[in-house]
Amino acid sequence: MIGELGTLYERFGRAAPAGTVLFHEGEAGHDMYVIQSGRVELRRKVKDRDSVLAVLPPGEFFGEMAILNNRPRSATAVVVEDARLLVIGPRTFEAMIRGSAEIAVRMIKKLSARIDQSNQQIETLLLRDSNHRVVHVLRNVAESLGRPTDAGVFIPISLGELAGRVGLEDHEVADVLERLAQAKLIQAAVYEADLMGVAPGDEDAGGYVIPEVGRLQDFLEFLEMKERFGAG
């Protein structure tokens, strides 16, 4: 989407330094955003704490529901890495969709992917065991966003984002990750540039490495059997 929207920056662009709050959960919304550079974190209040729903990279858009259905913001958006954004109002948005079938198709695909992700999150939150929740999300992220490296499959997800997806406190997720690391099912937090043997750049992102996704899948099946039959 960035290719099609790049020329609009002069008219609709906005620079936002790290720490900028673009909007708060519950506010009325009148614009959507497209990230040209930098990263934006989406947060939602869960049990009186901020849970990280996602950290969006360049090329992603957000805030579109305020335009599509005129509903209040469902999350808080915070810039976590100096960003260049396109701020799109309802009329501009409609003109873009009408004028470019490619933009419309890409947006439909993005929205469909988000529905799938929401369904996966609901499925995850129905699981009672914290180990099961975390492993379930790690497996899903490995399949959808994982990038092969010599050390295994790198998954670009932070501790906070993972905690937000599984509905647990950061320290609870950290405990699960430590146990998985001891079992050699994942590696501790790493940076992708380190794995690739290159100097970190602005695009470098932290995450985890799964040496063998198949072993993680086997462990997930074991947890599912344990939860189903109450094995000790």
Domains identified in the chain and CATH numbers: 2-123 (2.60.120.10), 129-229 (1.10.10.10)
CA distance 205 to 228: 36
For residue 21, count CB atoms less than 10 angstroms from its CB and return exposed for 0-12, middle for 13-18, buried for 19 or more.
exposed
* Mean pLDDT of all residues in 53-65: 84
Query: Which two three-digit tokens encode residue 45?
Result: 């209040």
> What is the band of 119 on the pLDDT scale with cuts at 50, 70, 90?
low
> Which residue type does 108 have?
I
Continuous H helices in 45-184: 65-68, 90-99, 101-125, 130-145, 159-166, 170-182
Q: What is the mean pLDDT of residues 127-145?
A: 78
Q: Hey, what are 209's tokens?
A: 């490495």
- Average predicted confidence (pLDDT) for the chain: 77
Q: Nearest Cα to 22, choosing from 62, 60, 79, 65?
A: 79
C-alpha 128/C-alpha 145 separation (Å) is: 25
pLDDT tens, position by position, 203-225: 455 788 998 888 877 877 777 66
The pLDDT-based confidence of 198 (bands split at 50, 70, 90) is very low
The reported pLDDT for the residue numbered 199 is 44
Report the half-sphere exposure of 31 (CA within 13 A, side-chain side). 14
Q: Check pLDDT > 70 for residue 189.
A: no
Rounded Cα gap, residues 189 and 186, in angstroms:
9
Q: What is the value of pTM for the model shown?
A: 0.56
Query: What local confidence, expressed as pLDDT, does residue 128 receive?
Result: 59
Q: Contact at 8 Å (CB) between 166 and 130?
A: yes
- Between residues 63 and 71, which one has the greater pLDDT? 63
Q: State yes or no: pLDDT of 117 exceeds 90.
A: no
Mean pLDDT over residues 150-172, rounded?
83
Q: What is the pLDDT of residue 212?
A: 87
pLDDT in tens, 71-88: 888 889 999 899 999 898
